Amino acid sequence: MKPPNQSTQPAPPPVPLVAEVLSAAFRSRTASSPFAARRRGQRRIMAALLGLTDVFCLVLALRLAQWTSLALRSWQGLGLPLSRSTPSLTSILPLWLAVAFVTLVARGLYRFRYRDGIYSVARAVTSVGLSGLLFAVLIFFLRLPTPRVFVVLVVVYSAALLGIGRVGFRVMATYLPPLNRRVLVVGSGPVAESTARMVAQYRRQGLYLVTPHLDSQRPAETQAQADVRPLVESSLQRIASYIHALDVDDVVITRDWYEQHCSDVERVFTMLNQLPAQVHVAPDPAELMMRMSVGDFSGFPVLSLGLLALPRWQMAVKRLFDIVVSALLIALFSPLLLVIALGIRLTSPGPAIFKQLRVGQYHRLFTIYKFRTMFADDAAVAARERMQKRPGDPRITPFGRWLRRTSLDELPQLVNILKGDMSLVGPRPELPDIVAQYHPWQYGRLLAPQGLTGWWQVNGRGERLLSEHTEDDIYYIRNFSLFTDLRILLLTVRALITGRGAF
């Protein structure tokens, strides 16, 4: 006998994930919010302005090539293989503009949905190179009287001017909301919260964290720290509706989200890729300290996991760079070092050099050197205890406050670099008691030489807590190169000039 109030009809089958996502995308697209429609209209205007800027750059490149060709005609007496003729812009300009714009449009350089492609100087240069090849082929078949040197000059000038234009628009993206990349972080737990904080902190790079539960139309500058939180949502229909209604450019999901809510990961990402947003995955912290590579294991392919350590040849080049630069800086700043040491001794009693035990690469302990910026008794306590920098600290001497503001108190660490305890660029060395409280994944930052400056210093300096910069340190290790080191050193000079985050 069947239980009361129970239907004999079978339960309806679950809706397939494909139909779920596509139906949500259709409904949200047909009922798009006024905010998303207005933002798309603003982006069309910006794309038109970008197109007009490119027209100006391409015309200017033709004019510069013509002027250069006229100047080169005076070098005929040197025996150079140059043509005596200079082409007319009326016959060349329409063809060049048509070829260049077809290539730029085909490569997505006016589609703000893929913002990195628009602002990429490399994509602009390669697009101009392809346009130059097509331009040369058409000139050959149309038998236009155009010297080859003129074609080369047009391509070079166009690539340079379009690259400058993309850099200018990337700077504009920091201040114009229509050009911001709107990022939706989906997930729960510390990984999602850390990812949301990092997106919010990269406001200067044109990123804007979307918080669906709040007013999505407010200016990006009013995004408060309390609003920085991820979206905890399990329904793909709701996520699809948020993407369309809020005009989201990028979706960052965490592994714990799709492991908790989705049994078929491959199918989920296939469906998410059909939405008008770029999908990214924020890995677990433990994965950040591992490097994966495809290898051969007795005849069959495998994914090999390796520690996030720098190759030996890169370590050797980095060490040679550290020795040369630190020795030159010590010789250059030696008068300044003596003046600062004398100023410390005259303004407060005690030694000029402050010493503290720190943890270096591979857990090696070493003594770090700094100019003393606190009164002698407070400095002795600071050498033994864990202390966080804070503005207006009464323990800091007036002369020491100036040293910290200019970061000149770090100059004695050039000696640590010359000795091999530290590097010019790398994760900052921390106190042993802080390292003892690390989570297992945080030890990855000790696989590289500890540095005088680093990626997180040029993205916040003293404004950020020590516990918030481990992801930046691991990001630096994963993307290490001498070019990256040089870039960080240049950004450090800018941070020193502006004084942001220093106290």
Say whether pLDDT at 392 is over 60.
Answer: yes
Identify the pLDDT of residue 381.
61
Identify the pLDDT of residue 302.
62
Pairing of strands 290-297, 300-307: antiparallel
Same domain, 70 and 218: no
Identify the pLDDT of residue 116.
58
* Mean pLDDT of all residues in 256-263: 66
**Cα–Cα distance between 173 and 180 in angstroms, integer?**
6
Confidence grade of residue 215 (pLDDT, cut at 50, 70, 90) = very low
Note whether residue 239 is domain-resident: yes
Same domain, 63 and 127: yes
Same domain, 110 and 252: no
Same domain, 166 and 185: no
Distances in whole angstroms, Cα of residue 445 to Cα of each of 145, 179, 389, 426, 427:
61, 34, 21, 9, 7
Q: Which domain holds residue 231?
A: 180-282
Handedness of CA 189, 195, 199, 200 (dihedral sign): positive
Identify the pLDDT of residue 468.
56
Tokens read off for 364: 């090696």
Same domain, 65 and 160: yes
**Cα–Cα distance between 219 and 204 in angstroms, integer?**
14
Same domain, 476 and 332: yes
Same domain, 226 and 360: no
pLDDT in tens, 66-90: 888 777 766 655 454 545 555 666 7
**Cα–Cα distance between 334 and 328 in angstroms, integer?**
10
Identify the pLDDT of residue 177.
72
Identify the pLDDT of residue 479.
77
Identify the pLDDT of residue 14.
45
Identify the pLDDT of residue 493.
85
Same domain, 214 and 164: no
Say whether pLDDT at 384 is over 60.
Answer: no
Question: Contact at 8 Å (CB) between 435 and 250?
Answer: no
CB atoms < 10 A from the CB of 26, how many?
12
Pairing of strands 451-453, 300-307: unpaired
Say whether pLDDT at 349 is over 60.
Answer: yes
Same domain, 193 and 273: yes
* Mean pLDDT of all residues in 461-476: 64
**Cα–Cα distance between 280 and 269 in angstroms, integer?**
10
Identify the pLDDT of residue 304.
57
Pick the more confident residue, 67 or 385. Answer: 67
Confidence grade of residue 113 (pLDDT, cut at 50, 70, 90) = low
Domain count of the fold of the chain: 3
Q: Which of 361, 358, 347, 441 is nearest to 403 (CA)?
A: 347
**Percent of the chain at pLDDT exceeding 70:** 67
Helix (H) or strand (E) holding 301: strand 300-307
Note whether residue 146 is domain-resident: yes
pLDDT in tens, 30-45: 445 666 677 777 778 8
- Residue holding tokens 């800086």? 329
Note whether residue 246 is domain-resident: yes
Pick the more confident residue, 44 or 276. Answer: 44
pLDDT in tens, 406-451: 889 999 999 999 999 999 999 989 989 888 888 777 887 888 899 9
Phi, psi of 235 (to 5 degrees): -90, 125
Helix (H) or strand (E) holding 300: strand 300-307
* Mean pLDDT of all residues in 151-165: 90
Distances in whole angstroms, Cα of residue 180 to Cα of each of 47, 114, 397:
14, 11, 43
Q: Which of 332-346, 356-370, 469-483 has the lowest mean pLDDT?
A: 469-483
**Cα–Cα distance between 271 and 371 in angstroms, integer?**
57
Identify the pLDDT of residue 336.
94
Identify the pLDDT of residue 369.
95
Identify the pLDDT of residue 252.
85
**Percent of the chain at pLDDT exceeding 90:** 18
Kindly report the three-state secondary structure assignment for every residue of 232-264.
CCCCHHHHHHHHHHCCCCEEEEEHHHHHHHCCC
pLDDT in tens, 177-188: 777 778 888 887
Question: Contact at 8 Å (CB) between 179 and 157?
Answer: no
Locate all alpha helices (DSSP H) within 351-412, ordered by sequence: 376-384, 398-406
Say whether pLDDT at 250 is over 50.
Answer: yes
Say whether pLDDT at 489 is over 60.
Answer: yes
Note whether residue 6 is domain-resident: no
Same domain, 229 and 161: no
Handedness of CA 391, 395, 398, 399 (dihedral sign): negative
Say whether pLDDT at 20 is over 90.
Answer: no
Question: Contact at 8 Å (CB) between 117 and 111?
Answer: yes
Same domain, 371 and 483: yes
Question: Contact at 8 Å (CB) between 137 and 56?
Answer: no
Tokens read off for 489: 């050193």
Question: Contact at 8 Å (CB) between 307 and 447?
Answer: yes
**Cα–Cα distance between 368 and 356 in angstroms, integer?**
5
Pick the more confident residue, 118 or 15. Answer: 118
**Cα–Cα distance between 40 and 238 in angstroms, integer?**
21
**Cα–Cα distance between 302 and 288 in angstroms, integer?**
19
Confidence grade of residue 7 (pLDDT, cut at 50, 70, 90) = very low
Note whether residue 389 is domain-resident: yes
Say whether pLDDT at 261 is over 50.
Answer: yes
Identify the pLDDT of residue 60.
92
Identify the pLDDT of residue 352.
92
Average pLDDT, the chain: 76
Same domain, 124 and 239: no
